Amino acid sequence: MNILVTGGAGYIGRHTVKTLLEKGHSVVVLDNLSRGHRQAVPADVELIEEDIHHLERVKQILTDRKIEGVMHFAAHSQVGESMVNPTIYYDNNIVGSYYLLEAVRQAGVPYMVFSSTAAVYGEPEQTPITEDMPYAPTNVYGQTKLMIEHMLAQFSRAYGLRYVALRYFNAAGADADGRIGEDHTPETHLIPLILQTALGQRQSIKIFGTDYPTADGTCIRDYIHVTDLADAHVRVLDYLAHGGQSQYFNLGTQHGMSVRQMIETAKKVTGRDFAVEEAPRRAGDPAVLIASSEKIQAVTGWRPVHSDVEHIIADAWNWHRTHPAGYGDEK
């Protein structure tokens, strides 16, 4: 199939581009490069530097390239930033996604796979989190992703668009070949922060909160390898192409690791010791977030096969060790 990947120069988008190519799909990447990296896109893949807000231009791209499916990763995704600068999240995530959806409708593209988030659930009262739990996002980022899901559902009912929204938890790791990986500015994700500390780029890694009701007092999260995420995106595209109806799925491993366990595992994998600081809790950090992936496993057969924590950290370490400055561009 001919697939357009918005945000395909970003972290999860780029890994999904690789999996799409391996499965024989033809890929076009659309990215405004405000946060993505030109160097991340393979030389033999067409990269169109464009913004999803530009309806007519996007519609022309969809039509000219005979696009049959869109994978939508183009969104701002920093929780803290969304709370202090919400306007860029409403504009980029909601308004931009509307224009993209309208271009998809006008061009007659039948399928869309949307990169959503577990943040739509907010702070659930129990885990593992299943898809039937109530939506209660506690930050602007989660609110914008939920609004996009609502738009997709309306476009599906009104115009026949078939879509899958994938709600994932903590994406982590890097491709095993070490040529692509995680490079955010600023970096907010735990594993890159830990590994940057191991490399000596940071003086210490902070643990925010050591008094949670968990075995070691630190937060527990469900980490999933980015390669497993990419595989899920391609599987649900195949599901739609073979007649599957619009759906939403959680993606996770159904197992959690604490912050302290992640730090100790990173020390083991890297063979390096480094300073750890204990700091007060951050507002809005739930004690435990673990996903149930039973629904997608039942429907598509997807299972995480790369998401053992040592495997995740080893692949991430390979990337960060060989690319200490990321892709080497400035954001």
Burial (CB count <10 Å: 0-12, 13-18, 19+), residue 35 = buried
Q: Walk along the chain (331 residues) and give the pLDDT tens digit of each residue.
A: 999 999 999 999 999 999 999 999 999 999 999 999 999 999 999 999 999 999 999 999 999 999 999 999 999 998 889 999 999 999 999 999 999 999 999 999 999 999 999 999 998 888 999 999 999 998 999 999 999 999 999 999 999 999 999 999 899 999 999 999 999 988 999 999 999 999 999 999 999 999 999 999 999 999 999 999 999 999 999 999 999 999 999 999 999 999 999 999 999 999 999 999 999 998 778 888 899 999 999 999 999 999 999 999 999 999 999 999 999 887 6
pLDDT computed for residue 191 by the predictor: 97
| 121 noted as active-site residue | no
**Among 113, 5, 16, which Cα is nearest to 61's?**
5
Count the Cβ atoms, other than its own, within 10 Å of residue 320: 25
Q: Which tokens hold the place of 307?
A: 């998401």
pLDDT computed for residue 80 by the predictor: 83
Cα Rg of the chain (Å, integer): 19
Alpha carbons 157 and 154: distance in angstroms, whole number: 5
Partners of residue 96 on adjacent β-strands: none
Which amino acid type is present at position 121? Y
Instruction: Encode burial over 95-128: b for 16+ CB neighbours within 10 A, e otherwise.
Output: ebbbbbbbbbeebebebbbbbbbbbbbbebeebb
pLDDT computed for residue 3 by the predictor: 98
Q: Find all residues with CB under 8 Å of 97, minimum gap 6, and list them.
A: 52, 72, 75, 148, 151
Alpha carbons 56 and 149: distance in angstroms, whole number: 23
pTM over 0.85: yes
pLDDT computed for residue 331 by the predictor: 61
Domains of the chain: 2-171+225-251 (3.40.50.720), 190-221+254-322 (3.90.25.10)
Which residue among the candidates 11, 89, 121, 141 is catalytic per the annotation? 141
Partners of residue 206 on adjacent β-strands: 277
**Among 28, 25, 23, 30, which Cα is nearest to 6's?**
30
Q: What string of DSSP letters covers 53-72?
A: T-HHHHHHHHHHTT--EEEE
